[in-house]
Amino acid sequence: MPNKILINKKISEFKKKIEVSSDKSLSIRAILFASQAVGKSKLSNLLESEDVINTLKAVKKLGINYEKKGKTYEIEGFGLNGFNPKNNLIINAGNSGTLGRLILSLLVRSEKKIKLIGDKSLSKRDFSRVTVPLRNFGVNIESKGNCLPVEIQGSNFLRPINYYENKGSAQCKSAIMLAALNTRGITKIKAKKSRNHTELFFKFLKIPIKIINKKKYDIIEINGLHQYDCFNYIIPGDISSSAFFIVLTLLSKNSELIIKKVNINKSRIGIISILNKMNANIIFKNIKTYKGEKTADIYVKSANKLKSINCPSKLNSSAIDEFLVIFLVAAKSKGISIFKDLGELNEKESPRLNIGIELLRMIGVKVERKKNDIKIHGNPNLILKDKYSVKNFLKDHRVFMMSCIAALTLGGKWEIHDKDSIKTSFPEFINILKKIGAKLNWKKEKISSLLL
């Protein structure tokens, strides 16, 4: 089957109940925490995507065995710094920033030299945001500029640090937290608000942590070298994967969707606040708390009176992976939507702010840009009739999925390349689209306009 799909028909009305793939952030963290626990942890409903499989492979290379029994992965850890790596080991984080950045922090005491590499996209991303603080702990790290490959050799003489994380990056914050866990003494982090899954893992595993929540940032104190026991964890659905189906429903006629058992951690649901401010009516039912994390069933219906938003930038971090589809909603809303301070979007698997703007302009939407602030001129009557082709050379999964949602809701004839990119985060994406009724095909057709 070719690595692209063709869409030339909008999706017909639907009323469905679905489950999306499991949460990627939680799956990767669960494996990394299990790899440092004492004993056999049991992780159920783990996302089986490339980023997560690469995490399993990475810990295996470091000497941690795992076994799959039914739907459960059993991972046997030997406590903090319980890895047993070979000399000159190479770990490949593939496409995953979370794996690449967090695994370095688990190697801060490793006696052996270990090299971290990644794919073309990850090799373009900024690793100095973690290598700089790790060097402050006393770790030896060599890198090529700010990027991969990175070579790390740990130290037995680490010292705790005080660090100000000012980007609102959960990967950066979590990397420092995990290094702090491996360092004697108290590390203090002042961190701009970002997803707090790592903090919740610390709490549920009873690892000493103090958190003071301020309006714009959190103060986190970690007293390191605390061993913790193995644990059981069931991973819920991913709000970032749900986002594509939420927007599919909002922008389709007479449709309704229920998405079962999704993680609705407050630091992840910026998209819901943003879309509800734009006149969507997205509701959570059956809300539960599990090991500090909240889950719910998400109810969403077609929206026919969407209005523009002046998006408060305090919501940026909690919607960071969802802006591409939020831009689509803005394009189909009444009025001019304003989004500010979106520079971090260009630090993702591809420069998503640039690509999002290019894609909107390709379909005829007026977008004004001043540095990292944009204005999207919405049009509730936006209907596409032309032919479009989307290729992104860094094979960004979210660019592929956003393009599919644009094609299925706005019309036009689309050729969307790099279908395999969904394997990194949401392997079931196409199957779920088909289940809801999307007509997708793979037949050849010549299409001229091209987005690179």
Return the residue nearest ligand S3P (CB atom): 25
**What SS3 class is residue 41?**
strand
Shortest distance (Å) from residue 344 CB to ligand S3P: 6
How many other β-carbons are positioned within 10 Å of the β-carbon of residue 19?
A: 18
Nearer to ligand S3P, 31 or 440 (CB): 31
DSSP letters, 324-382, are HHHHHHHHTSBEEEEE---GGGGGSSS-HHHHHHHHHHHTT--EEEETTEEEEEE-TT-
Task: With CA atoms as reference, report the closest residue to 402 among 410, 79, 394.
Answer: 410
Could you confirm whether 297 is annotated as catalytic? no
Cα separation, 224 vs 177, whole angstroms: 9
Nearer to ligand S3P, 80 or 177 (CB): 177
Angle, nearest 10°, between helix axes 270-277 and 323-331?
A: 10
- In sequence order, what are the residues at sequence separation of 6 or more whose Cβ sits closer than 8 angstroms to the Cβ of residue 291? 200, 204, 233
Shortest distance (Å) from residue 379 CB to ligand S3P: 29
Nearer to ligand S3P, 347 or 415 (CB): 347
The pairing of strands 283-290 and 293-301 is: antiparallel
Question: Percentages helix, strand, coil for the chain, rounded to the nearest 5?
Answer: 35, 30, 35
Query: Which residues are at the interface with ligand S3P (CB under 6 A)?
Result: 25, 97-98, 169-171, 174, 194-195, 320-321, 344, 348
Nearer to ligand S3P, 298 or 324 (CB): 324
Nearer to ligand S3P, 110 or 240 (CB): 240
For residue 35, what are the CA distances in angstroms to 47, 66, 107?
17, 9, 12
**What SS3 class is residue 180?**
helix
| Catalytic one of 238, 321, 396, 418 | 321
Nearer to ligand S3P, 97 or 154 (CB): 97
Shortest distance (Å) from residue 171 CB to ligand S3P: 4
- The length of the chain in residues reads 452
**Which residues belong to the active site?**
321
